[in-house]
């Protein structure tokens, strides 16, 4: 979902094709710290009892809500092509935050009954 105001789609298929290579290259380097003007995408995220990062809130008027693709209960699988399993909450936050108008690529999992 894009960060801050604005919209736009992504090419998840392309991102998935490069995900393993990029994860391997980026695994040792922590994400850069967000600047003072950093914004999120309007999501509440908490670790659930299984240790997964679960969406707990989608803020009305935020970029995530505007995308229409993210729902409470979704599980965050990857952010910016980095798997989030075992990641610290602060590292996940730094991956999601960015300057207004920038984009954030997220892979999510959803349980469907």
Q: Where are the domains of the chain?
A: 12-109
User: What φ, ψ does residue 19 adopt, rounded to 5°?
Assistant: -60, -50
H helix intervals, 27-99: 63-67, 89-96
**What is the C-alpha to C-alpha distance for residues 92 and 43, in angstroms, rounded to an integer?**
12
β-sheet bridge partners, residue 75: 54, 109
Q: How many angstroms separate the most distant Cα atoms in the chain?
A: 42
Whole-model pTM: value is 0.67
| pLDDT confidence of residue 22 | 36
Identify the weakest region by mean pLDDT among 18-27, 72-81, 103-112: 18-27
Tell me the CATH number of domain 12-109, given options 1.10.3720.10, 2.30.42.10, 1.10.760.10, 3.40.630.10.
2.30.42.10
Q: What is the pLDDT of residues 38-85, one digit of tens each?
A: 788 899 999 999 999 999 999 998 889 999 999 999 999 999 999 999
Contacts of 72 (CB under 8 A, 6+ apart): 55, 56, 57, 58
Residue 5 has pLDDT above 50, yes or no: no
């Amino acid at each position: 979902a894009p960060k801050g105001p604005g919209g736009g789609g992504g090419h998840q298929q392309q991102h998935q094709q490069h995900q393993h290579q990029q994860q391997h290259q980026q695994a040792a380097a922590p994400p850069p710290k967000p600047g003072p003007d950093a914004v999120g995408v309007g999501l509440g995220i908490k670790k659930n009892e299984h240790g997964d990062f679960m969406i707990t809130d989608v803020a009305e008027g935020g970029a995530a809500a505007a995308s229409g693709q993210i729902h409470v209960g979704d599980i965050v699988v990857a952010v910016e092509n980095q798997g989030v399993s075992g990641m610290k909450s602060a590292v996940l936050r730094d991956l999601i935050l960015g300057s207004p108008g920038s984009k954030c690529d997220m892979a999510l999992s959803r349980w469907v009954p």
